[in-house]
């Protein structure tokens, strides 16, 4: 059975030009002028015979010209003749192959000393060996940045040096986008036969694809159930009671496998020095929380990671953390009223036992910013040009602050707060409301988001609308809001709300002050794919980049340094999402054909047919030569 298809079907409209010679012949045809002669019977008969021969010749030339135009139009449209008989041959016509390689980090799983990614690269080498110089090969991964550099169209094989650049990616394209990119590159190849091959371990994947091209999956020999351990959520525990040099980090460790693991080594690395280790036992398919402690050896920024040593899948074995440590941070309180006991005790603990500096709002100047790290405005009732200038300079230097509006908030101060924190302040209320929301994504509230509060009542507050920047709310009303350089506490600190006696308030307040010590640092715990704002950035691999757009999309986990050469340099911990850690095999859609383990003989499966454009051009050329020959023959005959 034969079937004809076109590579550039959209260009078939040029075939309409076939009728042009016919239209010209019909429109240009003129009726000869009649001349009356005497009876010349033999001449008239000869004329009729010659006219008949000329008419037949013109029709033949017309047909030849129309066929020439038609053949040229068909050649441009690239027709392909398909036949099922081609499948019986081991030879294949020139083919464009798009190899879609899954580079999600689950492909780094090691079994028998070989990762799934290594097996996929070996399969690509097999495809290279079967391809000919007439084939076109395109390698596409799920790493968009890699594709921009290396997803070229190669003749005959994919170069070895290109394969050596492939690494597991933590920020991957979804399957629909990946296959759409593969189809676009196949179109650029301009080949009659086009095929897609998928190399994936199919872990935690739900592939949905509709393609005009045949797709086949090459098996990567998944045998036994995966046994994987991941370590996540490394969080520095605040020192609430007494600030010392002994610091503890809490983390979660999960056994994703079906077998219990005992004596698993966990180690802590801080500032590139191993500072502690311990062994843990983890039941099958369970997660446990552990802590590791170490001694801080200096002030300033501390960063590192907690790591579990697991030979199966190393990509999810680390969780990074970063924090700023000072034995006695300098806190300034702007306001004239005495501090309430619950606020004063928090500020004393945070300041290492020292009382915070009290500043009169009427005597503020920019020089005080040089000697303090965090500012607390209590109570904040009025705004003036001096305060506006102070806040502007604090924002420029990255110095954080907490604003606590009082009961006597002026309309100007209210409007200024609304603009700064993108909130709608309504009225001051004295009624008890219970806390109903604590953000789990913010550095200041993450530790208490999953805790059951013993006391959760707020007795007096400014009623604020809840929005994206809300950290804590009660009865649907915002109680705490965040901005890039500051936090807004809408509860009235002068009132004895029950929540202020709950341990969660002390933990939150301490973490909020810690986050604001360097406002250039994002106050959320960043994941791969989040944006980091800076003018210059030091990457985890020790490289440096200058950011023209002042933001960078984190592609890899690790420790990033914001503005490394500036006085306000800060470190940021970026971790991965753990969606690929669980060993949950996905299912292939029906459109994708699963090949056998001995897949080499099943390659080049499309057999869409032979490209006919060269044959059509040759036929068009032969017809042109035939037309020239006929015209020359007629000219030669007329001379005789």
Where are the chain's structural domains? 2-86+613-639, 94-222+585-606, 229-325, 331-511, 526-575
Question: Given a cut of 90, is residue 165 above it in pLDDT?
Answer: yes
Question: Given a cut of 90, is residue 251 above it in pLDDT?
Answer: yes
**59-73, 93-107, 376-390, range with the lowest pLDDT:** 59-73
Report pLDDT digits (tens) over 583-640: 888 778 888 888 888 888 778 765 445 667 788 888 888 988 888 888 887 777 766 6
Q: E strands along 73-135, which residues?
A: 79-83, 95-101, 110-111, 114-115
| Residue in 318, 313, 320 with CA at minimum distance from that of residue 203 | 313
Q: Is the peptide bond before 379 cis (omega within 30 degrees of 0)?
A: yes
- pLDDT (0 to 100) of residue 21: 76
| Residue in 94, 189, 91, 93 with CA at minimum distance from that of residue 140 | 189
How far apart, in Å, do the first and last CA atoms of the chain sit? 53
| Residue in 153, 202, 211, 157 with CA at minimum distance from that of residue 179 | 211
Report pLDDT digits (tens) over 221-250: 766 688 899 999 998 886 655 556 788 899
- pLDDT (0 to 100) of residue 395: 87
More confident position, 460 or 522: 460
Q: How far apart are CA 590 and CA 441, in angstroms?
A: 39
Length of the chain, in residues: 640
Give the rounded percent of residues in the chain with a pLDDT score beyond 90.
45
- pLDDT (0 to 100) of residue 500: 94
Give the rounded percent of residues in the chain with a pLDDT score beyond 70.
88
User: Which element (helix H / strand E) includes 470?
Assistant: strand 470-474
- pLDDT (0 to 100) of residue 144: 92
| Residue in 421, 508, 414, 416 with CA at minimum distance from that of residue 470 | 421
CA 228 to chain centre: 25
Using CB atoms within 10 A of its CB, is residue 313 exposed (0-12), middle (13-18) or buried (19+)? buried
229-325 folds as: Immunoglobulin-like (2.60.40)
pLDDT bucket at 49, cuts 50 / 70 / 90? low
- pLDDT (0 to 100) of residue 411: 94
- pLDDT (0 to 100) of residue 124: 94
Q: Is 76 helix (H, G, I), strand (E, B) or coil?
A: helix
Question: Given a cut of 80, is residue 93 above it in pLDDT?
Answer: no
- pLDDT (0 to 100) of residue 316: 94
Domain 94-222+585-606 has CATH 3.40.50.300: no
Q: 193-199 and 215-217 as β-strands: parallel, antiparallel, unpaired? A: parallel
State the pTM of this model.
Answer: 0.66
Q: Is the peptide bond before 321 cis (omega within 30 degrees of 0)?
A: no
| Beta-bridge partner residues of 205 | none
Q: What are phi and psi of 298, to 5 degrees?
A: -175, 165
- pLDDT (0 to 100) of residue 370: 83
- pLDDT (0 to 100) of residue 35: 56
Q: How far apart are CA 523 and CA 590, in angstroms?
A: 46
Q: Which two tokens stand for residue 56?
A: 């037949």
Within this chain, domains 94-222+585-606 and 229-325 share the same CATH topology: no
| Residue in 271, 362, 275 with CA at minimum distance from that of residue 321 | 271
Give me the mean pLDDT over the 23-30 stretch: 68
- pLDDT (0 to 100) of residue 44: 54
pLDDT bucket at 290, cuts 50 / 70 / 90? very high
Q: Mean pLDDT of all residues in the chain?
A: 85
- pLDDT (0 to 100) of residue 5: 62
Q: How far apart are CA 346 and CA 493, in angstroms?
A: 12
Give me the mean pLDDT over the 51-72 stretch: 79
* Residue 472 and residue 435 in contact, taking contact as beta carbons nearer than 8 Å: yes
Report pLDDT digits (tens) over 141-161: 999 999 999 999 999 899 999
Q: Is 412 helix (H, G, I), strand (E, B) or coil?
A: helix
Query: Which ranges of 80-143 does DSSP label H, i.e. alpha helix?
Result: 116-130
| Beta-bridge partner residues of 325 | 300
- pLDDT (0 to 100) of residue 88: 45
- pLDDT (0 to 100) of residue 9: 64
Q: Which two tokens stand for residue 65?
A: 């010209």
- pLDDT (0 to 100) of residue 51: 58
CATH of 331-511, one of 1.10.510.10, 1.10.1030.10, 3.40.50.880, 3.20.20.70: 3.40.50.880
Report pLDDT digits (tens) over 531-561: 988 889 999 998 999 988 778 999 999 999 9
More confident position, 64 or 47: 64
CA 461 to chain centre: 41
- pLDDT (0 to 100) of residue 426: 92
| Beta-bridge partner residues of 209 | none
Q: E strands along 172-311, which residues?
A: 193-199, 215-217, 229-236, 246-255, 261-270, 273-282, 287-295, 300-308
Question: Given a cut of 50, is residue 198 above it in pLDDT?
Answer: yes
Question: Given a cut of 80, is residue 385 above it in pLDDT?
Answer: yes
Q: How far apart are CA 148 and CA 144, in angstroms?
A: 6
Question: Given a cut of 50, is residue 89 above it in pLDDT?
Answer: no
pLDDT bucket at 6, cuts 50 / 70 / 90? low
Report pLDDT digits (tens) over 387-419: 999 999 998 888 899 999 999 999 999 999 999
pLDDT bucket at 34, cuts 50 / 70 / 90? low
């Amino acid at each position: 059975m034969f079937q004809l298809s076109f590579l550039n079907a959209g260009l078939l409209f040029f075939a309409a030009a076939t009728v042009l010679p016919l239209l010209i012949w019909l429109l240009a045809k003129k009726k000869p002028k009649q001349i009356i002669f005497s009876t010349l019977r033999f001449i008239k008969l000869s004329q009729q015979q010659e006219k008949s021969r000329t008419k037949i010749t013109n029709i033949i030339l017309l047909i030849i010209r129309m066929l020439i135009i038609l053949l040229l139009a068909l050649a441009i449209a690239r027709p392909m003749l398909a036949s099922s008989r081609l499948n019986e041959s081991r030879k294949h016509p020139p083919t464009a192959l798009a190899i879609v390689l899954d580079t999600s980090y689950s492909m780094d799983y090691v079994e028998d000393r070989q990762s799934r990614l290594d097996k996929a690269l070996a399969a690509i080498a097999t495809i290279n060996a079967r391809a000919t110089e007439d084939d076109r090969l395109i390698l596409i991964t799920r790493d968009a940045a890699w594709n921009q550099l290396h997803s070229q169209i190669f003749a005959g094989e994919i170069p070895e040096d290109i394969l050596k650049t492939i690494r597991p990616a933590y920020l991957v394209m979804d399957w629909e986008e990946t296959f759409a990119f593969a189809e676009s590159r196949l179109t650029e190849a301009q080949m009659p036969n086009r095929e897609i091959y998928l190399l994936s371990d199919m872990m935690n994947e739900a592939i949905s694809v509709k393609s005009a091209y045949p797709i086949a999956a090459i098996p990567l020999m998944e045998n036994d159930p995966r046994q994987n351990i991941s370590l996540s959520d490394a969080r520095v525990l605040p020192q609430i009671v007494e600030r010392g040099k002994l610091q503890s980090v809490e983390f979660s460790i999960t056994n994703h496998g079906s077998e219990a693991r005992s004596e698993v080594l966990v180690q802590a690395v801080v500032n590139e020095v191993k500072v502690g280790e311990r062994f843990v036992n983890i039941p099958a398919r369970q997660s446990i929380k552990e802590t590791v402690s170490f001694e801080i050896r200096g002030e300033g920024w501390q960063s590192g990671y907690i790591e579990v040593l697991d030979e199966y899948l190393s990509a999810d074995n680390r969780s990074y953390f970063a924090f700023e440590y000072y034995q006695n941070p300098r806190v300034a309180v702007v306001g004239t009223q005495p501090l309430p006991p619950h606020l004063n005790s928090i500020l004393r603990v945070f300041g290492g036992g020292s009382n915070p500096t009290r500043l009169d709002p009427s005597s503020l100047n920019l020089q005080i910013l040089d000697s303090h790290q965090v500012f607390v405005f209590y109570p904040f009732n009025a705004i003036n040009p001096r305060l506006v200038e102070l806040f502007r300079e604090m924002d420029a230097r990255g110095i954080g602050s907490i604003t606590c509006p009082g009961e006597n908030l002026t309309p100007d101060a209210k409007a200024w707060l609304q603009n700064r924190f993108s909130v709608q302040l309504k009225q001051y209320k004295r009624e008890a409301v219970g806390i109903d929301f604590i953000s789990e994504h913010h550095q200041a509230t993450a530790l208490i988001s999953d805790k059951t509060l013993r006391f959760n009542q707020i007795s007096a507050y400014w009623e604020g609308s809840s929005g994206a920047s809300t950290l804590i709310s009660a009865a649907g009303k915002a109680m705490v809001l965040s901005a890039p350089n500051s936090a807004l506490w809408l509860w009235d600190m002068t009132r004895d709300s029950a929540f202020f006696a709950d341990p969660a308030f002390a933990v939150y307040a301490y973490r909020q002050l810690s986050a604001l010590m360097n406002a250039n640092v994002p106050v959320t715990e960043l994941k791969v794919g989040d944006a980091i704002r800076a003018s210059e950035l030091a990457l985890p691999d020790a490289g440096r980049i200058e950011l023209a757009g002042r933001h960078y999309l984190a592609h890899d986990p690790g420790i990033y340094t914001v503005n490394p050469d500036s006085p306000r340099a800060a470190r940021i911990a970026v971790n991965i999402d753990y969606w690929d850690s669980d060993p949950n095999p996905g299912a292939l859609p029906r459109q994708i054909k699963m090949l056998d383990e001995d897949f080499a003989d099943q390659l080049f499966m499309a057999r869409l047919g032979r490209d006919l454009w060269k044959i059509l051009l040759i036929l068009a050329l032969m017809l042109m030569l035939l037309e020239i020959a006929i015209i020359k023959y007629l000219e030669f005959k007329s001379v005789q």
